[in-house]
Amino acid sequence: MKRGQGSPGSWGGKPITRRGVIIGMAAVGGFLVVDLGATLYARGPLGSGGRLTPQAFVDAFHRVYGRHPGYRLNHSKGVAVTGYFESNGAGTELTSAAVFRSGRTPLQGRFSLSGGNPNLSDAAGVARGLGLAIGYPDQQQWRMAMLNIPVFLDNSPQGFYDRLLASKNDPTTGKPDPAVMKAFLAAHPETAKAMDVVKQHPPTAGFADSTFRSLNAFYFVNGAGTRTPVRWSLDPLQPLQTPQPASKNPDWLFDNLIRNMASGPLRWRLLLTVAEPGDNLRDATIAWPEQRRVIDTGTVVLERIETEAAGNARDINFDPMVLPSGIEPSEDPLLPARSAVYSASLRRRAGTSGAAPQVNVNEVAQ
């Protein structure tokens, strides 16, 4: 770093002219604008103005539910299960996916309640989730995140985002602001309609007798290359229980599930509902007509329930885009958005220690 004495200067024996300095600095400045500018534009926030990003969802969950490091952004309260899918082979008509050949594929799963606060008390009206990773962690694994409602409440990432913000509890009343929710529903008639459908299907007594649905449509592709649009559901083989009045135990839904599983495995039939031409494949708020063909492909059996811990379903991102060959995502815009936000959630919780599980299978209230 030796600088000569000449005017305007020299470097390592090279004379430096004022013009040279200006041209050099201008070129460097130009390149830095391109290099750093492209980076800031790509990663945001420079280029994300007005556009929904995964970070916007992270911020929205934090605003509505508070920050809970180490937990999932949504469905924060949950419990891990393991079991298997016993396929009867009927699904191979529609898909070449190996899990649908006759036989067993082990799975990991997680029951959860919707919402980003892991400390919330269980409530019957809160959407129940069941995530499954069939064949995890093998190459041909099939991941899914299902809900116990007949249709999803949103048909776009923007709709989900707006509903999330509108559902924020008013600190004075402890409930969402009705005026805000009314304005949201006016702007999102698809959600208003979906909520009506949900109201016609009141929740069952608990997790064990709930029907869980994929909600989004997917394409099943068979060996001949035929692509069939499908939605799937898990239909409980446990008899319907009579819903009980609300309990004071904040974990009553999960505790009932733990008791149920203590007395034996729980079973659901995995049903494929086949779309017909004209059925909506990219709007999960719209139910398909009742008369659709349904294929019973086998039984999902959940044998063990575990407190969330390292190595079990706590660490699985139930990304609906992780699909085996033979199953492909539909054009539903929620699917890639779910993938992106789930990934943002996983990244923020992975390796964050100190997030104590909120459902402990060894501490069931009597």
Partner 1 sequence: MSAQQSRYSAGTRVLHWLAAVLVFTTIIVGFTLANSLGSYAVLLGVHKALGATVFVVFVVRVVNRLTHRAPALPAGVGGVERLAIAGSELGMYVLLLAQPLIGWSMLSASGVPVTLFGSVTLPAIAPVDAATYGLLRNAHSVVAYVLVLMIAAHVSAVLLHTLTLRDGMLRRMTFGRDSATSDEPDAGGPVVTASAGGTRAQEPQPESGS
Max CA pair span of the chain? 94
For residue 179, what is the enclosing H or E element? Answer: helix 178-187
Least separation in angstroms between CB 38 and partner 1: 5
CA 85/CA 189 separation, integer angstroms: 38
Nearest to 241 by CA among 124, 161, 163: 124
Whichever of 215 and 344 has its CB closer to partner 1, that residue is 344
For the chain, the straight-line distance linking the first and the last C-alpha, in angstroms and rounded, comes to 77
Contact present, 301 and 265 (Cβ < 8 Å): yes
What are the φ/ψ torsions at residue 235 (nearest 5 degrees)? Answer: -100, 120
Least separation in angstroms between CB 315 and partner 1: 4
**Which parts of 7-36 interact with partner 1 (CB under 8 A)?**
11-14, 16, 20-21, 23-25, 27-28, 31-32, 35-36
Q: Is 262 in the site for partner 1 (CB under 8 A)?
A: no
Least separation in angstroms between CB 365 and partner 1: 29
Near partner 1 by CB under 8 A: residue from 73, 80, 272, 335: 335
Sole residue written with tokens 């290359």: 225
Q: Is 58 in the site for partner 1 (CB under 8 A)?
A: no
Q: Is 78 in the site for partner 1 (CB under 8 A)?
A: no
Whichever of 210 and 345 has its CB closer to partner 1, that residue is 345
Sole residue written with tokens 């093998």: 138
Q: b or e along 254-266 (b: 16 or more beta carbons within 10 Å of the residue's beta carbon)?
A: bbbbbebbeeebb
**Which parts of 157-186 interact with partner 1 (CB under 8 A)?**
157
Least separation in angstroms between CB 136 and partner 1: 6
Segment contacting partner 1 (CB under 8 A): 46-54, 92-100, 181-189, 258-266? 46-54
User: Which tokens is 238 given?
Assistant: 């446990």
Q: Spot the catalytic one: 62, 75, 188, 201.
A: 75
CB within 8 Å of 161: residues ≥ 6 apart: 52, 56, 57, 60
Per-residue contact flags (x/-) with partner 1 for residues 290 to 329, judged by CB under 8 A: --------------------xx--xxxx-x-xx------x
Q: Is 139 in the site for partner 1 (CB under 8 A)?
A: yes
Least separation in angstroms between CB 14 and partner 1: 5
Is 75 one of the catalytic residues? Answer: yes
Contact present, 251 and 292 (Cβ < 8 Å): no
- DSSP code string of 108-122: EEEEEESSS-TTPPP
Least separation in angstroms between CB 61 and partner 1: 14
> With the C-alpha atoms ordered 33, 39, 44, 49, is the resulting torsion angle positive or negative?
positive
Would you tell me which residues interact with partner 1 (CB under 8 A)?
1-2, 11-14, 16, 20-21, 23-25, 27-28, 31-32, 35-36, 38-39, 42-44, 47-48, 52-55, 133, 136-141, 157, 310-311, 314-317, 319, 321-322, 329, 333, 335-337, 339-341, 343-344, 346-347, 349-352
Q: Which residues form the catalytic set?
A: 75
